[in-house]
Amino acid sequence: MTDTRTALVTGAARGIGAATAQRLAADGYQVAVLDLREQDCAETVEAIRADGGSAIGLGADVGDADAAAAAVARVVDELGAPTILVNNAGILRDNLLFKMTEDDWDSVMSVHLRGAFLMTRQVQKHQVEAGWGRIVNLSSTSALGNRGQANYATAKAGIQGFTKTLALELGRYGITTNAVAPGFIGTDMIRQTAERMHLTYEQFVEAAAKEIPVGRIGHPDDIANAVSFFCSPAAGFVNGQVLYVAGGPKS
């Protein structure tokens, strides 16, 4: 173990999570790359190590209390106590309300909300002990409401309330908590949404870009850059904020 700070990023096998893990490694942090299956983390871990960074991969269901505890314990053993946590893990189970099943609802809540709660509860004790910490939660513009996403929109709105409450509770310990709310970002999730709407990915992206003021969709690195700032020492007086990274104004 070294004196280098350790970051833990959930849902980091691909997309926004992978880009964030790689950006934090480039910022000089050791990174624990966590996803549902450890083998899925290998590509992200290898990319970080190829660039000279330090990383390990872990498999865990963030919605399982025992799995969350075991994952954080392993990070402590192999990299040192994590003082940076990025709660990025998420899934989609989109459907209109009258078609949405209880499992669609419960699965989304388990990963997004229960997962963020369980992971944060495990990590915050190490942050309090260190007298310093950064928590960044991934919300979404869907928190403002989005057709066919009653479960996802509710979870992402809940993440914002969770963020603001943690900011009030943990700020006195040198821990800041903020949220990043991505807009339309080119990821596998977007491909799933395009399929649900019976569109090709290219058609979906082209239509979306026309509605975004900057004239393009977002990329995972756009979100990773915002997370990087919130994790930095320079962001020590920014706490309880929700930053919409969407190519235009959202509120």
Contact 145, 217 (CB under 8 A): no
Region of residue 80 (left: phi > 0; alpha: psi -120 to 50; beta: else) = left
Active site residues: 152
Residues in the chain: 251
Lowest mean pLDDT, pick from 67-81, 198-212, 234-248: 198-212
Residue located via tokens 């505890």: 69
Separation between Cα atoms, residue 7 and residue 62, nearest integer Å = 16
Name the 3-class secondary structure at 62.
coil
- Average pLDDT of the residues of the chain: 96
Tokens of 186: 């080119």
Any bridge partners for residue 185, and if so which? 218
Please tell me the predicted confidence (pLDDT) of residue 192. Answer: 81
Antiparallel, parallel or unpaired: β 6-10 and 82-87? parallel
- Distances in Å between the Cα of 63 and the Cα atoms of 27, 56, 60, 120, 226 are 29, 20, 9, 12, 25
Task: Supply the pLDDT for residue 3.
Answer: 66
Q: CA neighbours within 13 Å on the CB side: how many for 202?
A: 0
Query: What does the pLDDT look like over 74-95, one tens digit per residue?
Result: 999 999 999 999 999 999 999 9
DSSP state letters, 38-57: GGGGHHHHHHHHHTT--EEE
Residue 131 has pLDDT above 90, yes or no: yes
The pLDDT of residue 211 is above 90? yes
The pTM of the full predicted model, rounded to 2 decimals, is 0.96
- Of 68, 116, 66, 71, the closest CA to residue 89 belongs to 116
Q: In terms of Cα–Cα distance, which of 152, 150, 160 is closest to 111?
A: 152
Answer yes or no: is pLDDT of 1 > 50. no
| Whether pLDDT at 2 is above 60 | no
The mean pLDDT value for 98-117 works out to 98
Residue with tokens 């498999």: 59
Per-residue CA distances from 247 to 23, 208, 215 (Å): 20, 11, 8
pLDDT in tens, 186-199: 988 888 888 878 89
Residue type, 141: T
- As to burial, measured by CB atoms within 10 angstroms (0-12 exposed, 13-18 middle, 19+ buried), residue 112 is buried
- Using CA atoms, how far apart are residues 69 and 216, in angstroms rounded to an integer? 40
For 133-162, the pLDDT digits (tens) are 999 999 999 999 999 999 999 999 999 999
Lowest mean pLDDT among 5-9, 73-77, 167-171, 202-206: 202-206
Using pLDDT thresholds of 50, 70 and 90, give the confidence band for residue 251.
Answer: low
Number of Cβ atoms within 10 Å of the Cβ of 99: 9
pLDDT in tens, 25-62: 999 999 999 999 999 999 999 999 999 999 999 999 99
Six token digits for residue 74: 């392993």
pLDDT at residue number 189? 81
